[in-house]
Structure 1
Amino acid sequence: MIDLRSDTVTKPTEEMRKAAYQAKVGDDVYNEDPTVRRLEELAAQMLGKEDALFVTSGTQGNQIAVLTHCVPGNEILLEEDSHIFYYEGGAVSAFAGVQTRTIKGHRGAMDPTLVEVAIRGEDIHVPETGLICLENTHNRAGGAIVPIDNMESIYNVASKYNVPVHLDGARLFNAAVALNKPLTDFTKFTTTVQVCLSKGLGAPVGSIIAGDEQFIKKARKWRKRLGGGLRQVGLIAAPAMVALTQMVERLSVDHDNAKRLAAGIGSIKGLEVINEVDTNIVLIDVAKKGLTAEEYIRLLKEQGILAVSFGPTIIRMTTHYDVSTEQIDQALAILQK
């Protein structure tokens, strides 16, 4: 099968498997696992933050950030199709006791003027704005890169009102590689950031949240409360270290393959690519085929291609290192039929 459902389906490399086998480990709840500490130190340095914390998933990282920044009764501002709002099971209300206020964006980017208008004033009737959340790249906008100057403008607005900014940077490495920019060009306009190591970077498990030392100290306790305090975690931190040190630059291959896929689909009758392909995600409208997304996905599966539904007639295909350029061409040949 040519699996284009997500970059989460990648399998660990041989180097990752060897690293896990050879990892030096300890009890991380006691802060005694040397491998995870090295991973956290490296991640903090790459992200330009004082400290970092290894967590089990991107969703857990985002939730820990909200829990650490906010108190029950706060309101958080975020783009209306953001992952935190759309794909995390209402966790911010279930766990943190905060409400969401969504803002319509363009390709995942919110208008800083609308963000400023949405920040609550001093009024006994309304919740305090506890956090502004950004997402880069933006999943539902088709892996769109939120411009750095947009992030800067929103960060300046937030600073004016003393509101922290959290970046869901699940695919931030994709944005950095696509623009040939260091991660810190993005993260300097954030208070905290979460990055996934188990998507395009291929680690089997894990994400990083990063911020200042006091934030990470509080976040570590929230991780424990959520059941995320792990023991000999070096077994999974070692593959994550390989992801950080060996798998970043090659993301450009995924981006090239996504553009190759989009260009090929653009010449197929009845299929329409509806996003500007910045990174590794291609969104395809199949309405002119006279089929729903689910119907078309079933037909694709019969032909050896896996994709996911992104709407009534929209499917998503995501490139990653387990799909070669040759397989992209095979997929296009099948789609042509």
Structure 2
Amino acid sequence: MSAAQTRELSGPQEADYIGRLGRIIRSARLNLHYPEARALRSHLGCMDPRVHRGLYPGVQVNLASGLPSYREWTRVQTDVQIAAEQLQKLGARAELERQARASDASIYQKLLHKHDYYSQIQGRELASLGQMTVALRKIDARSRTGYFNIVLDKLEASGLFVRYSIQLAQTHSAWSQPLVRLDAENAEHTEQLKSLVYKCTALGSESTFIKLAALGGVRVERVVRGSVGPIIWRAEDAPDVLRPLMEAGGPTGFIAQFGLDMLADDVAEDRQNDPLGARVQTDAQFSSKMRAALKVARQKSGVNIFGDRKFVVPRHMMAPLRDFCAARGTQNLIYSI
């Protein structure tokens, strides 16, 4: 990522950013369709300068997502993984403290900070940067069909944290390659399924639905994508449609967005409740080939499409944002910090 796509924050700005971002995620009241809020906040907490004690010069922000860049998330992940090993190498804190008192050399104070940092983050719960789980819901022995829940959490190339929640039914036959292996009442994904889901979700929930629905022996019941971000911190980084709101919000203004799009067989009809335009693509946005594939897949599975978005903003921006949504014909959840 180029410097033009990121912003470096340090000192009081860094602490304020990490603190506000943690409060935003807590205030968003994320449900099971979104990445785990507690893990996100725990991961973020390791970036707080009060935790790393100046061992890192600051935090790099992805301007497109408003979240810390991939570099920051992976740096914390690595530090937590090596924390126990580093503490063993550093030795007893009492000895490091004695050395720091006995010498003016900055290295001893730095070693003491390292000990405190690794002690504080050791065993910390972290957000998943890319992990998939498969759980068995039920088995219909007569039709030899297994029903599964698939959950994929990942940090996308866009800088957004997303969760894909997929429900599908798989019928075993001599002519189909099972995507999920059954062992008693447990389910384990095959490498084929893992590769397919990772590849499809890079292109969105519609592509995931179409590709999975086209497989033999598989019926897709639901594909849900919940995203954390983007978060707009400055008017100059806002899309044109939101720039007036950000400019009116002043120096303390921000708009945090949490999108949700769903293709499911228990959605009664297509519905759009996203004032910024759905991530779920409309027919006009698809190529003719994709439109045809989506039509066939929807007819086969009986699914409809729902798009939504909720927001977290400062209290003084709640009323203007509510008016903005109403003008676009949507009613959205808006929380404040």
TM superposition score normalised by structure 2: 0.24
Bigger Rg over Cα: 2
TM-score by length of 1: 0.24
Higher normalized contact order (CA 8 Å, seq sep 6+, divided by chain length):
1
